Amino acid sequence: MQGSSSDMQEIFARAVARSKAIGDILVERDALRQIAKQYMRFHGRKPALIIADDNTWRAAGSRAESELRRAGLEVQSHILPAVPRPKPSVDLGNSLAGLMDGNDFAPVAVGSGVINDLVKYAAHRRDRSYSCVATAASMDGYSSAGSPLSDQGFKMTIQCRPPVAILADLDVIAAAPKQMAGWGYGDMAGKIAAGGDWLLADALGIEPLDDVAWPLVQDNLRAWLAAPDAVAGGDPAALSDLFIGLTTVGLAMEFHGSSRPASGADHQIAHIWEMEHLSHDGEVVAHGACVAIGTLTALALYDWLLRRDFSDQDVDRALAAALTMDEKRRAIQAHFGEGQIAARAVEETEAKHVEGEALEARLHRLVACWPDLRRRLIDHLIPRNEMRDLLARAGAPVDSTRIGVSREHLSATTLAAGFLRSRYTVLDTLAEFGLLNQAVDEIFAADSKMEARG
């Protein structure tokens, strides 16, 4: 399972070459020295518009500015306040797009998740290609086309275009606040659970695996997760592997045309907290931190599911207790209230709702393929406790209370997360078998018992 860095570089180079959207991804020490060369390859001698926040400006923005100026380019810099952190909202994205009116500046995002998502959206709105200087290995969004922003409170992934060029200076990334690499590791860990969800959807004929994105992510995933201690220790080689893994996942989403290769129940759980603007210790909780907890929850559900056997009686019982769309609508309202979020959740849930004969056929299909599917899932997944250990070593949160989510809220989130997206996951398998409540009760009861024992 140990991936050598040269194998990884090779797979990465091939994936970048295959990308229609991204022309270059430079990951090395002191990469900023080459920013002007990379910039001019894609934007010629157009003036540059650097967008950063106070922190990322200090980390890499001011150096980027002086390197570009040294090459004789005109540069304008727009620096957002770092406190409070810039909000990933459509409103802020639109105001950044306004900076591109009446000029032909090429935007350069200097930052990590939020800054890149905002500039991605702004550049797309003005049909401008942009570059990204990554400042942390904190999430997989650098190379993805989607920009997850909130619009009137509903977090949605808006289809944009990824940057034409990405530059990751490993000295900058190693100097980022320590917890950020733990977030990136958490976002990467989610691909284990998301892969399980895709296996389920494939086996049930809902969404087939593909032969590009699936192996690109899943064949390399354990190698990308192999060095949690070195990631936490800020080792540049380990951070390079993690960064390469995260950007490769972004490319896999491009090749597949959706985020299926990267996101399942783990991300649905995280999205609920992101929409709630979950904060802890006065800061908005980072995406990768939410995904780490979402991943552990999804893996606990898998551990529970994999202990079960299914028979035709389970199908009869499930059909007798199956929720109608009306009942699901009421459950959505009970969790999300009446507003915009509930309305979107109803649409997403309607898109995947099955009942009657269709549900019956699906459940029988699962019963029939379960022995084989169960084996595939066991081979693929990492048990929750093992993952918990890996995440803890990488510096990611492993207990929901560490990100401000009580046990009760975690349990309510897990019950509601499946309503949020039309994508089929383990939450749907359990719900359609009428087992979701029982599974959630039992995994959290087991956790409380463990805590009581200390």
Which of 117, 187 has the CB closer to Zn ion? 187
Nearest to 204 by CA among 39, 359, 397, 12: 359
Least gap, CB of 132 to Zn ion (angstroms): 16
- DSSP per-residue string spanning 423-437: S--HHHHHHHTT-HH
> CB of 291: closest distance to Zn ion in angstroms?
5
b/e burial code for range 68-80 (CB count within 10 A of at least 16 → b): beeeebebebbbb
Residues that bind Zn ion (CB under 5 A): 187
- Of 36 and 269, which has the nearer Cβ to Zn ion? 269
Tell the smallest beta-carbon distance from residue 140 to Zn ion (Å).
5
- What SS3 state is found at 278? coil
Task: DSSP for 41-63, please give it.
Answer: HHHTTPPEEEEEEHHHIIIIIHH
Q: Which residue number is nearest to Zn ion in terms of Cβ?
A: 187
CB of 16 to Zn ion, least distance (A): 20
Whose Cβ is closer to Zn ion: residue 187's or residue 241's? Answer: 187
Minimum CB separation of residue 396 from Zn ion in Å reads 13
Taking the complex as a whole, the smallest distance from the CB of residue 75 to Zn ion amounts, in Å, to 31
Nearer to Zn ion, 155 or 329 (CB): 155
- Length of the chain, in residues: 454
Residue 84 DSSP symbol:
S
Q: How far apart are CA 294 and CA 187, in angstroms?
A: 10
Residue bearing tokens 């599917």: 373
Q: Which is nearer to Zn ion, 169 or 187 (CB)?
A: 187
The token pair that represents 339 in the structure block = 């507003």
Tokens of 380: 């693929």
Contact 123, 161 (CB under 8 A): yes
Q: Which is nearer to Zn ion, 61 or 184 (CB)?
A: 184
Task: Note whether 134 and 113 are within 8 A (CB).
Answer: no
